[in-house]
Structures are given as structure tokens and as C-alpha cells.
């Protein structure tokens, strides 16, 4: 497991960041903050079959886009797996731009189309970013250079164990630190789907979703416990990279059980109800930027648009 020195400093005593950054961010209104939660390989019909009160609450108190595209109409060159999916979500562009076609990451174009933390820092250098994941490709390839990072991947460690470590660490930071944008990735749902099947009738798959939902509850409780919560405007997004069929999801462009995702947009500034129209994974980044007051540079060539926010 890899833990950066920055994360350890926060976990032990919290970096002396909060007051200076908060002053820089504040415009005499609520301080805008964003949390993006990723659940790998999580079918929405299985979420609905699960006892998932925290995800249900975020949906009920926010906006839902479902289904959303995991590849654009213009391009089918990337496989329907995690490398392209999380690159779509975290970079805000499709695979014909970011260049990740599978999980080999043979020729990524992240220099021209980087993850949203880097874009956020370009617009607001004082922004504080944090990443928690247990798939090593997130920390080591896609979402690099976070101010705080926990890579809980381990050679012989189950994702269920890593997910708990992530939930505990992220909750501490969300409750006591002052991050501007945080990404939290959970891997056990996908792992269980590959073992037992991606379907709402598979009890172990549904149980994995319920465990992740409990972790999401930890994160939400941490946010609500913040001493400064009444001075803040939190945006909380929940999404997935792909669905699944049987025990796999590769080559699923024409399989609706695979080639669909969903996006929950919740929090203080979210709309309520179903988000109409066709949307895609690339909408997550523009939505975060719009909430944080970051004007996207046309040179970034983002493919998505902001969704689910109050006008």
C-alpha cells in the first residue's frame, strides 16, 4: 500500500492549510466544495435492489441522470472497461482525446487532456485536492498529483479491505481537513461482479453495494460533522464506469447491461428529480467546475456539460 507523506501529515495532525485557503476561496458566500464518489462496476438496477439508504437519500435529495453513455456516438475505439471509463469521468473528455483504450494504458494523452485536479489547480492554485482509491491505476496513472493521496491497492489485498481503509481515511480528511475537491473510489462491487456475476439477482453483488453504501454514509456523516458545515456548499456526485453482464463487461458496446452508467448530483446546489436528455460520463468534471466557479478554458476541449445544478 502506498501512502503519501502529505496524507500522513493530514491524518496525524492536519496540515496548516485551512484558514489561508478558505480566505482565498471565500467570496462572502458559502465556500464551495465537491466530493466525487466512484463505485466501480455498479449497475443501477442492482443499486435499486440493494438496501442502500445513503445512495437513495442522495438521489431523493438531488438529481439523477440514468442511463448515461460510457462512450460517445462518434467513437467506439475504447473497450467498455475501467481504464477508459475512469479516464472519461476524471478527465472530462472521451477516449479519442485522452487516448486510454483499455487497462494497459499504452499511449495515454494525459498531458493534453489531464485529470480535473490539474485543471482545477490551473484555475485556482490554492485549491486543495485529495484522492482515495484502491485500484492502483487511479492513483498511479489517471489521477496523479493530488495534495493528499491514499493508494490502498495491495497485491494480495481484497478490495473490501481497501474500501474500508479508504472510507476511514477519507472520512477523517472530510471531517477535519479543508479539501476543495475530493475523489473517493471503491472497488469491491466490480471485484464481486467478476467473481459471482453483475446482476441484481446475485446476492453477493448486491451485498457489496450495500457495504459501499455504508462507506458512503461514513463520508456523508463526516461532512455533516464539520465545524464549518453551515458556511459551506457541498456538491456530492456518485457514478460508475460501466455495468456488467454475466461475470464481465469487456466488448459491451451493444449490450445495455454494460454500456450504461448513472450519475447522481446531490448537495446544497443540486436540482431535484430526474435529469432529462442524453448525458455521458464526461459531464461529471464540467459539473464540478461549474459548482466551484471554475470557468472552463475552451482550450481544454472538454466534451461534457454541467448537469443537475440549480440555475
pLDDT digits over 215-254, tens only? 999 999 999 999 999 999 999 999 999 999 999 999 999 9
CA distance 245 to 256: 9
- Helix 188-196 to helix 159-176 angle (10° resolution) is 160
Q: Provide CB contacts within 8 A for 30, sequence distance 6+.
A: 231, 232, 233, 268
pLDDT for 155 equals 76
Instruction: Return the pLDDT at 27.
Output: 52
The HSE-up count of residue 264 (CA atoms within 13 Å, CB side) is 25
CATH, domain range 2-6+32-300: 3.40.720.10
CB 245 within 8 A of CB 200: no
Which pLDDT does position 134 carry in this prediction? Answer: 97
Task: Check residue 5 and give its pLDDT.
Answer: 36
Other beta carbons less than 10 A from residue 113's beta carbon: 23
How many whole angstroms separate alpha carbon 184 and alpha carbon 152?
Answer: 11
- Rounded to whole angstroms, how far apart are CA atoms 75 and 282? 14
pLDDT given for residue 2 in this prediction: 44
Exposure string over 132-152, b if 16+ CB within 10 A, otherwise e: bbbbebbbebbbeebbbbbbb
Cell of 54: 445513503
Cα dihedral 70, 72, 73, 78 sign:
negative
DSSP string, 182-235: EEEEE-HHHHHHHHH-SSTT-HHHHHHHHHHHHHHHHHHHHHHT-TTGGGEEEE
d(CA 10, CA 211): 26
**DSSP H stretches of helix in the chain:** 5-13, 18-25, 44-49, 53-60, 82-91, 95-98, 116-123, 136-137, 159-176, 188-196, 203-224, 284-292
C-alpha cell at 256: 445495455
Domain range annotation of the chain: 2-6+32-300
* 162 to 28, 60, 121, 192: CA distances (angstroms): 39, 28, 28, 14
The sign of the torsion formed by the CA atoms of 199, 187, 51, 309 equals negative
Counting as low any pLDDT under 70, the low residues of the chain are 1-28
Q: Are 242 and 85 in contact (CB under 8 A)?
A: yes
Amino acid at each position: 500500500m502506498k501512502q503519501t507523506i502529505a496524507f500522513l501529515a493530514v491524518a496525524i495532525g492536519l496540515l496548516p492549510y485551512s484558514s489561508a485557503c478558505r480566505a482565498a476561496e471565500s467570496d462572502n458566500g458559502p465556500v464551495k466544495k465537491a466530493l466525487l464518489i466512484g463505485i466501480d462496476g455498479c449497475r443501477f438496477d442492482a443499486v435499486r435492489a440493494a438496501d442502500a439508504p445513503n445512495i437513495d437519500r442522495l438521489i431523493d435529495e438531488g438529481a439523477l441522470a440514468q442511463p448515461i453513455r460510457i462512450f460517445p456516438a462518434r467513437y467506439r475505439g475504447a473497450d467498455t472497461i475501467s481504464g477508459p471509463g475512469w479516464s472519461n469521468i476524471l478527465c472530462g473528455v472521451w477516449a479519442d482525446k485522452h487516448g486510454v483504450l483499455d487497462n494497459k494504458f499504452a499511449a495515454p494523452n494525459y498531458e493534453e487532456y489531464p485529470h480535473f485536479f490539474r485543471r482545477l489547480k490551473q484555475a485556482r492554485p490554492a485549491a486543495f485536492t485529495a484522492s482515495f482509491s484502491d485500484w492502483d491505476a487511479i492513483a498511479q496513472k489517471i489521477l496523479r498529483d493530488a495534495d493528499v493521496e491514499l493508494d490502498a491497492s495491495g497485491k494480495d489485498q481484497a478490495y473490501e479491505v481497501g474500501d474500508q481503509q479508504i472510507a476511514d481515511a477519507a472520512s477523517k480528511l472530510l471531517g477535519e481537513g479543508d479539501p476543495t475537491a475530493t475523489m473517493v473510489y471503491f472497488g469491491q462491487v466490480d471485484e464481486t461482479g467478476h467473481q459471482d456475476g453483475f446482476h441484481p439477482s446475485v446476492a453477493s453483488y448486491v451485498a457489496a453495494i450495500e457495504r459501499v453504501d455504508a462507506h458512503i454514509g461514513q463520508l456523508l456523516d463526516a461532512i455533516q460533522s464539520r465545524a464549518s458545515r453551515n458556511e459551506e456548499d457541498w456538491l456530492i456526485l456518485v457514478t460508475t464506469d460501466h455495468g456488467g453482464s454475466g461475470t464481465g463487461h469487456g466488448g459491451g458496446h451493444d449490450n445495455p447491461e454494460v454500456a450504461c452508467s448513472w450519475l447522481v448530483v446531490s448537495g446544497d446546489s443540486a436540482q431535484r428529480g430526474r435529469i432529462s436528455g442524453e448525458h455521458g460520463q464526461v459531464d461529471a468534471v464540467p459539473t464540478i467546475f461549474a459548482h466551484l466557479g471554475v470557468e472552463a478554458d475552451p482550450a481544454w476541449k472538454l466534451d461534457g456539460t454541467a448537469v443537475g445544478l440549480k440555475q
